[in-house]
Amino acid sequence: MPTGVCIRCFICILLNNPKRGTAGFICVIVEIRLFLNMAFTEGILMNLYVGNLSWGVDDDGLKSFFEKYGEVTSARVITDRETGRSRGFGFVEMPDEAARAAIEQGEGAELDGRPIRISEARPRQ
C-alpha cells in the first residue's frame, strides 16, 4: 500500500464503498477486526463475562477451561492496574454455538476451587 493511503480507504475499496474517507486509528482497528471476524470465523463471535474467578486464575487458565466447549478466540482476566492482582472476573470470546454451550454447561462449574458465573457480556456503556 503506498505511503499516505488510509487503511480505511483500502477497506472501503475492498468493500466497494464509494464514500471513502479517513478515520481515527481506533476506527480502523475496529473495522479491520470486524472484517477479519466475518471472513475467517464460522458464525458470529460472542463475548462472555466470567465472574467469581479465583485470584489464582490467569488468562491461560481461563482459556484452557473454556476450550472444552469449543474454539476460544481470546480469554482475558481483568487485573487491577496498580497491583496487577486479578479483580475476580474476565472475558472470553468464542463462536456463538460454543459460547452457548459454555453458558449452559459451564455455569456453576468449579475453576480453581470456586464456582464460576458465566453470562453473555453486556456492551460497555
Question: In the predicted model, is pLDDT for residue 4 greater than 50?
Answer: no
66 and 116 assigned to the same domain: yes
Q: What is the DSSP code string of 82-107? A: TT--EEEEEEEEEEHHHHHHHHHHHT
Distances from the Cα of 5 to the Cαs of 14, 35, 54, 71, in angstroms? Answer: 14, 18, 47, 35
56 and 106 assigned to the same domain: yes
What residues make up the domain containing 98? 45-120
Q: What is the pLDDT of residues 69-99, one digit of tens each?
A: 999 999 999 999 999 999 999 999 999 999 9
Question: In the predicted model, is pLDDT for residue 105 greater than 80?
Answer: yes
113 and 53 assigned to the same domain: yes
Classify residue 125: in a domain, yes or no. Answer: no
106 and 63 assigned to the same domain: yes
Q: What is the pLDDT of residues 25-77, one digit of tens each?
A: 444 555 555 555 554 545 689 999 999 999 999 999 999 999 999 999 999 99
pLDDT of residue 124: 78
88 and 35 assigned to the same domain: no
Which carries the bigger pLDDT value, residue 111 or residue 124?
Answer: 111
- Overall average pLDDT of the 105-111 stretch: 95
Q: Given the C-alpha cell 481506533, which residue does it identify?
A: 26
Residue 89 belongs to a domain with what CATH number?
3.30.70.330
Q: How many domains does the chain have?
A: 2
57 and 97 assigned to the same domain: yes
Q: Is the overall model pTM greater than 0.85, yes or no? A: no
pLDDT of residue 31: 57
Classify residue 71: in a domain, yes or no. Answer: yes
Classify residue 2: in a domain, yes or no. Answer: no
Query: Which residue spans within the chain are E strands per DSSP?
Result: 45-51, 74-79, 86-95, 110-111, 114-115, 117-120
Question: In the predicted model, is pLDDT for residue 3 greater than 50?
Answer: no
